Amino acid sequence: AQSVAQPEDQVNVAEGNPLTVKCTYSVSGNPYLFWYVQYPNRGLQFLLKYITGDNLVKGSYGFEAEFNKSQTSFHLKKPSALVSDSALYFCAVIMDTGRRALTFGSGTRLQVQP
């Protein structure tokens, strides 16, 4: 079985400040981890992924995420938030074997205030 938890429904941050959107996962094998973003009135877009290798993954729009196996976490981070980062963010997981469809978290709404 595989599952993802995003413990925060909403994260508020001031423009220019660092942001973190939390994600923890549960899989019985090795995880492949993803972040997707959904801007208002637009489709879901891929941000970044962790398959293997370096635990710090860099993605689109200056975002990065750190895979922490011991804490089963994959938190999304950005050093300096922009108002345009305001959107709905989804973490997703898939095992390296078995079922091949991503399991998504419930989403976290990021609100960046000017």
Minimal distance in Å, beta carbon 37 to another protein? 11
Minimal distance in Å, beta carbon 36 to another protein? 8
Q: Which is nearer to another protein, 70 or 100 (CB)?
A: 100
3 state DSSP class of 90: strand
Q: Does 103 bind another protein (CB under 8 A)?
A: yes
Q: Which of residues 30-59 bind another protein (CB under 8 A)?
A: 32, 34, 36, 42-46, 49, 51
Q: Which is nearer to another protein, 15 or 88 (CB)?
A: 88
Which one among 21, 35, 74, 107 touches another protein, defined by CB under 8 A?
107
Burial of 87 (0-12, 13-18, 19+ CB in 10 A): buried
Q: Measure the CA angle with vertex 50, ends 47 and 54; round to 5°.
A: 120
Tell me the window of 14-22, 29-37, 70-78, 79-87 that interacts with another protein (CB under 8 A).
29-37
Cα end-to-end distance, the chain, whole Å: 41
How far is it, in rounded angstroms, from Cα 69 to Cα 95? 14
How far is it, in rounded angstroms, from Cα 99 to Cα 101? 6
Q: Where does this chain bind another protein (CB under 8 A)? A: 6, 32, 34, 36, 42-46, 49, 51, 90, 92, 94, 99-107
